[in-house]
């Protein structure tokens, strides 16, 4: 009986925290609510021609660096977390824009993400248009105040190697709370529907384009029918299937794979999900059974198989005469190397260690209450 009442007390503490703490990671309750409501609000559907899009009062924002006048598209993925790219805080050689010092990620253990120092977070602003920018006469832009930011997968060899072109994805947490539905995060090939790209063109506003996935890699997606512009500061790649809006890719650079081919590269969100979950609590639903050695072996096999099939997809779709301007494929061919498998394995260990740590915390809590 005594045990039961302690348990009820614990649950109540958990709930009241969920209601009061409105900063930091999403609580399990908040994430569950997000999962239930995600993908319900969309944007105007663009044509295949670049289309100026009304993003007023939606999840499509942009971020601005006060110290550099640099911009980047930013997408709300929870009530207070944005997915964006680090191109307005770091130069392409990993130099901080606000003070010109070098940035060296401290990549210890399995940790792939790095928290952005507070003085850098303070240089960021998040902004949404309250009306289409063309009618800017008496139109105000809404802003949100960043409180934390994280460079995602910055310790991943793939991101390190190509940082000078593609920068790193970034999560920015803000003080304000957005009440409406935000897009789901997705990335499994089977869930791709109609694909749209929305990008912030710095002297124009948001430009939408209807595009098609050309190739799917482990780390990236390549789309076709994309129109580039030097004012382009990036944004999400969106899939809409059965009326559900999901972010499947992200990119901030103007780089296309080859001039005149309309092929465009995006980070694959599927590959970023572990990091996003770790730093923001924006997670998939947790699997029910506890992880054991047997299940992890099975998962590892599955991962290897699926990367094999995406390689097949690539070889069948890449025309021999197509020389990518930036040879991302060189690294995407990495699966034959043993380091690739090691990396995969580390990712897996990360997930397993993360969830058991949670269990340990609950266990310690229980013991503490017993002692009291």
Residues that bind ligand NAG (CB under 6 A): 50, 54, 56-57, 96, 99, 101, 117, 119-120, 132-133, 136, 140-141, 201, 203-204, 212, 214, 224, 227, 229, 231, 261, 263, 317, 319, 322
| Residue from 180, 241, 167, 227 nearest 199 by CA | 227
Strand 184-185 to 244-251 pairing: parallel
Place of tokens 């100026």: 52
Q: Please, which residue, 24 or 117, has the CB nearer to ligand NAG?
A: 117
> What is the rounded distance in angstroms from the CA atom of residue 225 to the CA atom of residue 178?
33
Minimum distance from residue 270 beta carbon to ligand NAG (Å): 19
Minimum distance from residue 135 beta carbon to ligand NAG (Å): 7
Minimum distance from residue 229 beta carbon to ligand NAG (Å): 4
Q: Please, which residue, 141 or 310, has the CB nearer to ligand NAG?
A: 141
Minimum distance from residue 332 beta carbon to ligand NAG (Å): 15
Q: Please, which residue, 231 or 356, has the CB nearer to ligand NAG?
A: 231
Torsion over CA of 303, 37, 176 and 75, rounded to 10 degrees? Answer: 50
> What is the rounded distance in angstroms from the CA atom of residue 78 to the CA atom of residue 209?
24
> What is the rounded distance in angstroms from the CA atom of residue 241 to the CA atom of residue 236?
16
Instruction: State the residue number with the nearest CB to ligand NAG.
Output: 117
Q: Please, which residue, 119 or 342, has the CB nearer to ligand NAG?
A: 119
Q: Please, which residue, 208 or 281, has the CB nearer to ligand NAG?
A: 208
Minimum distance from residue 227 beta carbon to ligand NAG (Å): 6
Minimum distance from residue 262 beta carbon to ligand NAG (Å): 7
| Residue from 52, 203, 178, 184 nearest 126 by CA | 178
Strands of the chain (E only): list them.
51-53, 60-65, 70-76, 81-85, 114-115, 124-129, 141-144, 146-151, 169-174, 184-185, 194-201, 205-216, 220-224, 235-241, 244-251, 264-268
Helices (H), 219-268: none
Minimum distance from residue 139 beta carbon to ligand NAG (Å): 6
| Residue from 235, 234, 237, 233 nearest 224 by CA | 237
Q: Please, which residue, 223 or 272, has the CB nearer to ligand NAG?
A: 223
Q: Please, which residue, 60 or 348, has the CB nearer to ligand NAG?
A: 60
> What is the rounded distance in angstroms from the CA atom of residue 229 to the CA atom of residue 141?
24
Minimum distance from residue 58 beta carbon to ligand NAG (Å): 7
Encode burial over 301-332: b for 16+ CB neighbours within 10 A, e otherwise. Answer: eebeeebeebbeebeeeeeeeeebebebbebb
Minimum distance from residue 352 beta carbon to ligand NAG (Å): 33
Q: Please, which residue, 89 or 282, has the CB nearer to ligand NAG?
A: 89
| Residue from 113, 155, 127, 123 nearest 60 by CA | 127
**What number of other Cβ atoms are within 10 A of residue 84's Cβ?**
29
Minimum distance from residue 347 beta carbon to ligand NAG (Å): 28
Residue 75 contacts residue 60 (beta carbons within 8 Å): yes
| Residue from 85, 123, 108 nearest 253 by CA | 85
> What is the rounded distance in angstroms from the CA atom of residue 287 to the CA atom of residue 97?
41
Q: Please, which residue, 94 or 263, has the CB nearer to ligand NAG?
A: 263
Q: Please, which residue, 140 or 285, has the CB nearer to ligand NAG?
A: 140
């Amino acid at each position: 009986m005594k045990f039961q009442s302690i348990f009820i007390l614990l649950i109540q503490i958990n709930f009241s925290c969920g209601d009061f703490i409105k900063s930091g990671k999403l609580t399990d309750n908040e994430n569950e609510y997000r999962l239930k409501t995600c993908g319900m609000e969309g944007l105007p559907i663009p044509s295949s021609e670049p289309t100026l899009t009304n993003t007023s009062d939606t999840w499509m924002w942009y971020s601005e660096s006060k110290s550099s006048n640099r911009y980047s598209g930013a997408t709300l993925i929870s009530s207070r977390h944005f997915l964006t790219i680090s191109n307005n805080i770091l130069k392409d050689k990993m130099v901080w824009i606000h003070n010109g010092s070098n940035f060296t990620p401290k990549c210890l253990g399995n940790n792939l993400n790095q928290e952005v120092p507070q003085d850098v977070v303070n240089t960021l602003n998040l902004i949404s248009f309250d009306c289409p920018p063309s009618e800017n006469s008496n139109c105000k832009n809404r802003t949100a105040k960043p409180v934390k930011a994280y460079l995602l997968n910055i310790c991943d060899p793939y991101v390190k190697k190509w940082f000078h072109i593609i920068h790193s994805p970034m999560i920015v947490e803000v003080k304000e709370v957005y009440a409406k539905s935000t897009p789901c995060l997705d990335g499994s090939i089977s869930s791709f529907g109609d694909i749209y790209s929305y990008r912030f063109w710095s002297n124009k506003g948001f430009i939408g384009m209807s595009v098609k996935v050309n190739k799917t890699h482990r780390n990236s997606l390549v789309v076709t029918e994309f129109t580039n512009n030097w004012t382009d500061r990036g944004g999400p790649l969106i899939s809409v299937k059965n009326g559900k809006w999901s972010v499947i890719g992200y990119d901030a650079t103007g780089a296309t794979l080859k001039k005149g081919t309309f092929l465009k590269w995006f980070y694959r969100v599927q590959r970023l999900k572990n990091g996003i979950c770790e730093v923001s609590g924006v997670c998939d639903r947790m699997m029910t059974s506890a992880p054991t050695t047997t299940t992890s072996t099975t998962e590892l096999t599955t991962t290897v198989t699926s990367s094999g099939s995406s390689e097949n997809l690539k070889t069948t779709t890449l025309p021999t005469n197509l020389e990518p301007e930036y040879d991302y494929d060189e690294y995407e061919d990495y699966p034959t190397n043993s380091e690739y498998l090691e990396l995969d394995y580390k990712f897996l260990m990360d997930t397993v260690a993360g969830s058991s740590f949670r269990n340990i915390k609950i266990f310690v809590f229980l013991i503490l209450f017993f002692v009291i």
